[in-house]
Amino acid sequence: RKEVEQDPGPFNVPEGATVAFNCTYSNSASQSFFWYRQDCRKEPKLLMSVYSSGNEDGRFTAQLNRASQYISLLIRDSKLSDSATYLCVVNTNAGKSTFGDGTTLTVKP
């Protein structure tokens, strides 16, 4: 079993739709969690951190469920520019991160 697992998708949604991605992790000692966005043939860019209390940044909401060991990303009112691959990242200590393989989102007009 992989340490971090994501549904690879692809998720194909129309503009304006709400879409949610989940990511599960196996190490209960994991300490910090993030979502990154990666455009085709580009480097990953930090999208947002994920906290137990949940956090929101505009149309994006991230949640952490420690009991079930998963994190989620919700995107509301999808835009064409949201099309990308979304990577979840789990850290067990400051020196090492484990990335999921990513979930691909395509937003269509």
Partner 1 sequence: SQTIHQWPATLVQPVGSPLSLECTVEGTSNPNLYWYRQAAGRGLQLLFYSVGIGQISSEVPQNLSASRPQDRQFILSSKKLLLSDSGFYLCAWSEYRAYEQYFGPGTRLTVT
Enumerate binding residues for partner 1 (CB under 8 A): 31-32, 34, 41-46, 49, 87, 89, 91, 94-102
Which CB atom, from 58 or from 95, has the smaller least distance to partner 1?
95
Task: Indicate the residue among 70 and 76 with the shorter CB distance to partner 1.
Answer: 70
Q: For partner 1, which is the closer residue by CB, 4 or 19?
A: 4
Q: What whole-number distance in Å separates Cα of residue 40 and Cα of residue 102?
A: 12
| Chain center to CA of 19 | 11
Please, what is the minimum distance in Å from the beta carbon of residue 14 to partner 1?
25
State the nearest-atom distance from the C-beta of 8 to partner 1, in Å: 9
Q: Which is nearer to partner 1, 29 or 94 (CB)?
A: 94
11: part of which helix (H) or strand (E)? strand 11-14
Residue appearing with tokens 């505009």: 58
Three-class secondary structure of residue 7 per DSSP: coil
Structure tokens at 30: 């994991």
CB of 99 to partner 1, least distance (A): 4
Query: Are the C-beta atoms of residues 87 and 7 closer than 8 Å to each other?
Result: no
